[in-house]
Structure 1
Amino acid sequence: MLALFSCSKSVEQKLEDLEKEQLAFEKKIDGIKDTAIRNQAKQFGSMLFWFKKIDIENQKPPTDTSYEENPFVILGDYPTMSGLTNNFLNGILIENNGDMSTKNELKVHYPFTFPFEPKITWNTVQFNNNSNLPVKSEYLEGDQQIQVVKSEYNNDNNVSVYYPEKETLRTIEPTFLSGTIEATIPKAVLQFKFTNNETGDTKEQNGIKVKLVSIKDHMVTVDVTTAGPTDPSVDPDKIDLIKVMATDKTNKFLDHSGSSTGPEDLMDFFQDILEKIMDHPEDVKKLEKEMEKMQKEHEEKNKNQTHYRAFFRGSVEDVVVYIFDYSKATKLKKALKLPAYSFSNSSDGRPIANIATTTTVYDRSLDDLLKQKAELTQGELSKEIKIEQKPYSKPNKAGQYEEKAQFSFEYPKLLSTLFMDDFRRYESLTNVSFYEDKGGSKLINIPKDSIDYNNGEGYIENPWVEFQVNRVEYNPAKFPVKPKLARGVIKVMLADIKKTSYAVNKLPAGIKVSGNKLIIDGNLVNTNNSNFYVKDKTGKYLKQITTLTNTKGDGFDVDRTVVTYYYGVPHTIERLEQSDLRTVDHSFEIVLTEEVKQARD
C-alpha cells in the first residue's frame, strides 16, 4: 500500500517519499507480463504521480519574494468593457525602427496589457511605393528581394523587413502594417477583495459568490459559485474564468508560482487510484474509466462551483479575486491597418512629426511616486537608508565561482531619485573598519593597500574590501578572523528639488503643447536638470509614448527641441527641477551575516 504523507513532513521529505513510492510502483508494474496492460498502467500511474508531485512542489515556501504587475488595475480607468477594448485597439502603435543597415524592425507598442489574451496576426506590409508584401513565417537565405518575416524573438509579435544588398531597394520604406486581432471579452470583470482576517467569509456580486477558504503563508484557496453556465462560445479550458491576485505587507502584488483547480479531495482520490493500480494492475482500464466517470460526476455536481488554489512567491497578506463573467461573451474580430512611425531622433531640422492616437492611458505608477518628499536631510540618512546583505559563497572543488559577501545601501524612492541613480548618489567610501565581535571593540587589522574605496579607481589587485556603485564587497576568507561588524562612512549626494505646475494656457516661454505633444525648446529651458509630467483634464497622469530630440545646426549654434508624445491630451504640466547638489557624509554600522553558501560544482 502507498503511504499517506504526514502533514508534519517537510516538502523535501514528501518529495523523497513520493520518488521512492514511484520507483516501487514502477518496479511492480514492470513485473506485469502483458505488454499492453503494463504500458497502460505505467503511463496512467506516471500521470497521477506527476499530479501529486506538482501539488507537493507548490506547497514549498518561496526562498525569495518577487512581485508582478497587476494587469487588472487598468480596469479602474475604463468602467465598461467596450471602453477598455476601444482604448486598447486605438492605442496600438507601430514603430518603424530602421537603425540597422540590413533590416527594419516594425515594433508593436501596446498602450497597456489587455487582460483577455488577444490574438494578433500580421498579414501584410505596405510600402511607400504602394507595393504590398505578405508576412512570412521564415526568412529565406539568398533571396534578392525584400522579405517581410514574423519575429519570434521573445514572443514580441514584431515584424522584420529584410533588405538585400541593393541600394535602390533600401529607399523603399514600410508605411503600414495590416492584420487582425481576435479576443473573447466577458460581460464584466468582478472584483472581490479579502483581508487576511476574512478567512471563511463569502462575498457576493451579481449572483456570483466567492469564499476565501484559507490563506496559508504563500497559498490561497477560494471557492467560487457562479449564477449559471458560461456562454456556449466560451471554452473554459482555454480561457481563464478566475484570477487570484495577492499582496504582501508592502501592498505590492506577489508573483504567481502555480495554481490548481479541482475538487478539494482530488489528491486523496489520486492516492486511492494509485493504491488500486498497485493491488490490481490488470484493472487499469477499469480504473481509468472510473477516474473519467468521477471527473464527469464532479463536473455535473459542481458545474457552477470551482475550488481554486493559487501559490505565490511571497507571504500573502490580502487577496483580490477577479471573476470573468462569461455568462455572455463578446467575440472581437477586427481588421487592423496601422501606420508605421519613426521613433528616431533627427538632426536635419525636419518638422516635428505627429504620432497620432485617440486613446487615453494613465500612468498609475506616477501617482505615489510624485507624492513623495523631495529629498532627505543629512540627519535623516541613518534612518532612511536601508542596508541589504548577501552572504559569502565559497568556491567549489575546482576553485571556481567564489562570490564575495556584500552589503548594499538602498536609498528610498523620492523625487530626487528621478534624477539620481546609484552611480551618482554614492560618491565613494571614505573609510571602513571591520571587527571580530558584534560590539565593535576588537578591530581587525586590514592592510591599507587591500581596500579600494572608489569603484576600482584605486587599481588594487584582488582587494579584500572594495566599494562598487552602492555596495561594499568583502572577502571574509582573506580576513585573519571572521568579521562580525562593519563601521564606516560613505559620501552621499543630495539635491534640492523644485516643483512647479502650469496650466496649458499659461505656459512659460520655451514650453508648449500641440495635440498630444509636449514640446520643449532646449535653448530656453534646461532639460538636463528638469523632468516633465503631464496630466489630462481629469487630473490623472498620462502615460508617455516616447520622447524624441530634434536638433538643427552645427557647433555651438544648435537649436535643440525635445518632444514627448502622450496617450491623451495634456491639460496640466508639472515640472521638477534639480538644483544645489551637495555631498554629505553618512556614517553606518552593520552586524554582518555569518551565513556562508557553497558554490555548485
Structure 2
Amino acid sequence: MMDVRSPLASVGLCAALLLTSGCSPSEEQKQATLEEKTATFEQSLDGIQDPKLRDAIADLGGSLLLLERAQTKLASKPIEPEYGEDSLALLKHYATPQALVDTYINGLFVLRRASHSDYLTDLQPVFPFTFNVPEQFPFPHNLEWQSVTLSNNKVIPFQPEWSETDPGIQLSPSSSNLTNPDDLTVTYPFFDGIETENKSQPQPVSLKGAVEVVAPGKVLSFDLSKKDVGHTRTEGTVTVNLLLLEKNYAELELTNSAPLAPELADDSPNPLLVQARDITGQFLTRSGSINESAAQVAFYEKQLAELQKQKAWSPALEKQLTDEQKAFEQKQHRYYAKVYFNGVIDALQVNVLDFSRVTVTRKDLDLPVLRFDKNSLEKTVQALPMPVTVYDDGAASWLKDASMTEEQLKNSVTISQSVDDASAAHVVFDHPFTFNDDLVGAERNSSEAPVTFFTADEKGERGDPIELPTEAFELNPARGLLTYDLNLFPENPAFVVGSIPLFLATIEKTTLDATKLPKGLSLKDNALIVDQQAFPADSWRFYAKDASGNYLKEILGVSHRAEEYGTAMFDVHYFYGQPTSLEGYQRTDLSTVQYGFEVKLDKPESK
C-alpha cells in the first residue's frame, strides 16, 4: 500500500513536540479545539470497515493533526533567549563540501564502552562531528551496520532488534542509549541462575558496515535581516525569498531553477539551513520548524477529504492518489520553511545546499573496536591515530568566562521557586554552568549563610521576621537550593532575605609552543600527556590549536592511575588534528562571592 503520509513524514517537528511551556488562555482554547478535532477524527475511524482505507486515513489525518498541534505549540511558546553554537561553522572550515564528507567518514571510529554486565558489551560509533537537535549532519547520509567479528573469528550478523528466542550471540541496536541511535550491543547468551563471565566469551574485534553520503555541488550563504522582507536574493540558479520576519520566527521560500541531480532519485533532501542571531550577536537555538506551505497542507487536506468519501481501498484509488501527488509535486518548484527560534531575531544566516549537482561517496567500513577507559591502570600511552582535522568552534565562547567578574557572576543568577509541596517548598538560585565553574572544582566552601523569613505588612511589603526552629529550613549553597517546610511555620512567610555564597575562580592563561613544552607536558602525535604532579587536573585545563589558529576538538581523555581509585599519574588528551600550540588555564585562587537576595515568596494554594 502506498504511504499517503510520506510527504509529511519529513516535517521538522521533533523539537516542537517536546515543548512543555504553560498554556495561555487562547492557547488552552486552541488546544481544547484541537483535542475535540482529534477525538472526532478518531471516532470517525471506527466506522471504516476496510483496514487499508482506515490505515491510509489514519496516517494522513494523524500527520495533519500532528502538524496543527506543533504549529499551536510553537506559536504560543514564550519568547525567551536561549543561546547555542554556530552549528554551520564546520561548513566554513573545509574548502569543498566533499572535503567535509571525507572528514565525516574517515574520522569515524568505534569504542567499546565500559560495562558491568556479564552478558552485554556495548559498542559506540564515534563521529567527528556532533550536532544539537534538531540539526544533524547537513548532507543526506545513510549508515548501515552489517556484522561484528569476534576474537574467535566468528562473524555475528547485525539484526534490527534483539531476539529473546535466539540462543546465540547477537548484534543489535542498543536499547540503553536512546540519545545515540547508532550505538550497538553485543548480547551473549544469558542463563538464569548461572553466572557467565564476560571475559570468557569471545570479544568483539571489528565492526563492519557501509556508509553513503551525498555532497551538494556547492553551498551558498545569504545574510538577511528585516530590510530583506519581500525581496529576493539570487545567486546562480538559486533564489531565496524572505517572506516574513517576526520576533521569533522567519518564513522563507527557496527556488532552484536547476532540477535535482538524478543521483537523488526520488529523495528530496532539505536544501535550506537557517540560523538566527539576536541583537547581542549570539546564535539563538531553534525551537522547531514547519516545512509544509499553506498550499501543501491544503493539498493533503483535499486528499484526506477524498479518502474519507470512499467506502473501500482499491488499486484504482491508490493510482489516483499517487498520480495526484506526483502532479502536485511537479508543480512545486519552491521549498518552504517557517523556522522558530528561542529569542528575538535580529539577523538571519541562510545556507542553501545546491543539490542540482552532487557527489555520492560510498565506503565499506571495517573498523577495529577500540577500548579507552576514562580511568586506566596502564602505564603506557595508547595510540589513537586520527587522519582528519576537526575544530572546536565553541571553545572561544566557552573560554571567555575564564575572566568572569563578580558582577557578571551575580548578574547571571536566576531565581525560581515552588510551593507545590508544603513540606519541601523551595527557592532555587541557578546560573549557567561556565568555564569558570568547571575550574572551581568540587572543593567548595559550603558554610552556612544567613537566611530570615518575614511576614507581609498591611501594604504587602516586608513585615516582621518569623521565629523558626532550625529544622524549618535548609540552605545548600553548593546546589543553590533553599528548602523550607511550611508545616513548621507559625504562619505563611511572604518574603525571605539572606545571602548565598557563589564561587569564583581566579584563572591565569599560559600560551605554549608545542615544540617548547615545559617539563610535565609532552606531545605524542595527536596525544597531549599531562603529568598530574606538575599540572593536576583539579586546577588545570589545556586547549590545543593547530597551524590555522583554530582550536582543535578533543576526541576523548584518559586518566592513568597507579592503582584503582588511586592517585592519578598522568592524563592523556587526544585531539582531531596535530597541535602546534597549547593554551593552559590554571586556577590560582578561589574566592567566595556573597549573593544577597530578597525574594517575594509565592503563596501556597489553600486546601
TM-score normalised per structure 1: 0.78
Q: In the alignment, which residue of structure 2 is the partner of 1:356? A: 385
Using the alignment, how far apart are the partners of 2:183 and 2:29 within structure 1?
46
Q: In the alignment, which residue of structure 1 is the partner of 2:394? A: 365
| Alignment check: 8 A CA contact 1:18 1:53 kept | no
| Alignment check: 8 A CA contact 1:163 1:170 kept | no
TM-score normalised per structure 2: 0.77
Q: Percent identity?
A: 24
Using the alignment, how far apart are the partners of 1:85 and 1:176 within structure 2?
23
In the TM superposition, what are the counterparts of 1:334-483 in structure 2 within 5 Å? 334-344=363-373, 348-377=377-406, 380=407, 384-393=411-420, 404-410=425-431, 413=434, 415-420=435-440, 424=444, 428-436=448-456, 441-455=462-476, 469-474=479-484, 483=493
Q: In the alignment, which residue of structure 2 is the partner of 1:87? A: 103
Name the CA shift for 1:318/1:391 in 2 (closer, same or farther; >3 Å): farther
Q: In the alignment, which residue of structure 1 is the partner of 2:514? A: 504
Cα deviation for residue 221 of structure 1 reads 1.3
| Alignment check: 8 A CA contact 2:472 2:488 kept | no
Name the CA shift for 1:71/1:289 in 2 (closer, same or farther; >3 Å): same
**Residue 118 (1) aligns with residue 141 (2):** yes
Using the alignment, how far apart are the partners of 2:441 and 2:454 within structure 1?
28
In the TM superposition, what are the counterparts of 1:269-284 in structure 2 within 5 Å? none
**Residue 306 (1) aligns with residue 335 (2):** yes
Q: Deviations along 1:243-266, whole A, 9 cap, x unmatched?
A: 33444556333234341323x455
| Alignment check: 8 A CA contact 1:384 1:412 kept | no
Q: In the alignment, which residue of structure 2 is the partner of 1:260? A: 291
Q: 1:518 pairs with 518, 525, 528, which one?
A: 528
Name the CA shift for 1:292/1:334 in 2 (closer, same or farther; >3 Å): closer
Count of equivalent residues: 564
Name the CA shift for 1:297/1:447 in 2 (closer, same or farther; >3 Å): same
Cα deviation for residue 452 of structure 1 reads 3.7
Q: State the one-letter code of the partner of 1:156.
A: P
Name the CA shift for 1:370/1:67 in 2 (closer, same or farther; >3 Å): closer
Q: State the one-letter code of the partner of 2:183.
A: N
Using the alignment, how far apart are the partners of 1:50 and 1:267 within structure 2?
10
Cα deviation for residue 230 of structure 1 reads 0.5
**Residue 542 (1) aligns with residue 519 (2):** no
Q: Deviations along 1:349-402, whole A, 9 cap, x unmatched?
A: 54211011111111111111223352424xx3785342322343368xxxxxx8
Instruction: Find the residue that maps to 1:240 and give its secondary structure.
Output: coil
Segment of structure 1 superposing worse, 68-77 or 16-25: 16-25
| Alignment check: 8 A CA contact 1:427 1:493 kept | no
Using the alignment, how far apart are the partners of 1:345 and 1:412 within structure 2?
22
Name the CA shift for 1:539/1:181 in 2 (closer, same or farther; >3 Å): same
Cα deviation for residue 322 of structure 1 reads 2.9
Instruction: Find the residue that maps to 2:262 and give its secondary structure.
Output: coil
Q: Deviations along 1:3-29, whole A, 9 cap, x unmatched?
A: xxxxxx934434545666788899999
Cα deviation for residue 333 of structure 1 reads 1.3
Q: Deviations along 1:209-250, whole A, 9 cap, x unmatched?
A: 111111334442111111211012325655323333444556
Segment of structure 1 superposing worse, 476-485 or 309-318: 476-485
Cα deviation for residue 565 of structure 1 reads 0.8
| Alignment check: 8 A CA contact 2:275 2:283 kept | no
Q: Deviations along 1:539-592, whole A, 9 cap, x unmatched?
A: 111111111122347999x781211111111111111111233334x2423443
Instruction: Find the residue that maps to 1:356 and give its secondary structure.
Output: coil
Using the alignment, how far apart are the partners of 1:184 and 1:442 within structure 2?
68
Q: In the alignment, which residue of structure 1 is the partner of 2:181? A: 156
| Alignment check: 8 A CA contact 2:437 2:505 kept | no
Instruction: Find the residue that maps to 1:200 and give its secondary structure.
Output: coil
Using the alignment, how far apart are the partners of 1:521 and 1:430 within structure 2?
42
Cα deviation for residue 334 of structure 1 reads 0.4
Using the alignment, how far apart are the partners of 1:287 and 1:442 within structure 2?
76
| Alignment check: 8 A CA contact 2:475 2:483 kept | no
Q: Deviations along 1:70-97, whole A, 9 cap, x unmatched?
A: 5433212113112101111121121123
Cα deviation for residue 40 of structure 1 reads 6.8
Using the alignment, how far apart are the partners of 2:248 and 2:350 within structure 1?
15
Using the alignment, how far apart are the partners of 2:166 and 2:56 within structure 1?
47
RMSD: 4.5
| Alignment check: 8 A CA contact 1:52 1:267 kept | no
Instruction: Find the residue that maps to 2:405 and give its secondary structure.
Output: coil
Name the CA shift for 1:566/1:254 in 2 (closer, same or farther; >3 Å): same
| Higher Cα radius of gyration | 1
Q: In the alignment, which residue of structure 1 is the partner of 2:600? A: 592
Cα deviation for residue 110 of structure 1 reads 0.8
Q: State the one-letter code of the partner of 1:387.
A: T
Q: State the one-letter code of the partner of 1:55.
A: E
Q: 1:529 pairs with 535, 539, 544, which one?
A: 539
Using the alignment, how far apart are the partners of 1:28 and 1:582 within structure 2?
67
Q: 1:566 pairs with 562, 575, 591, which one?
A: 575
Segment of structure 1 superposing worse, 138-147 or 120-129: 138-147
In structure 2, stretches of 5+ residues that fail to align are: 1-24, 131-136, 190-194
In the TM superposition, what are the counterparts of 1:206-355 in structure 2 within 5 Å? 206-235=236-265, 239-248=269-278, 251-262=282-293, 264-265=294-295, 298-302=328-332, 304-312=333-341, 315-344=344-373, 348-355=377-384
Segment of structure 1 superposing worse, 333-342 or 380-389: 380-389
In structure 1, stretches of 5+ residues that fail to align are: 1-8, 396-401, 456-466
Q: 1:190 pairs with 208, 220, 233, which one?
A: 220
| Alignment check: 8 A CA contact 1:549 1:562 kept | yes
Q: In the alignment, which residue of structure 2 is the partner of 1:494? A: 504
Using the alignment, how far apart are the partners of 1:422 and 1:523 within structure 2?
19
Using the alignment, how far apart are the partners of 2:565 and 2:286 within structure 1?
51
Segment of structure 1 superposing worse, 125-134 or 570-579: 125-134
Q: 1:51 pairs with 38, 48, 64, which one?
A: 64
In the TM superposition, what are the counterparts of 1:194-205 in structure 2 within 5 Å? 194-205=224-235
Using the alignment, how far apart are the partners of 1:320 and 1:594 within structure 2?
42
Segment of structure 1 superposing worse, 184-193 or 512-521: 184-193
Using the alignment, how far apart are the partners of 1:257 and 1:422 within structure 2?
37
Name the CA shift for 1:518/1:295 in 2 (closer, same or farther; >3 Å): same
| Alignment check: 8 A CA contact 2:480 2:500 kept | no
Cα deviation for residue 332 of structure 1 reads 2.0
| Alignment check: 8 A CA contact 2:110 2:124 kept | yes
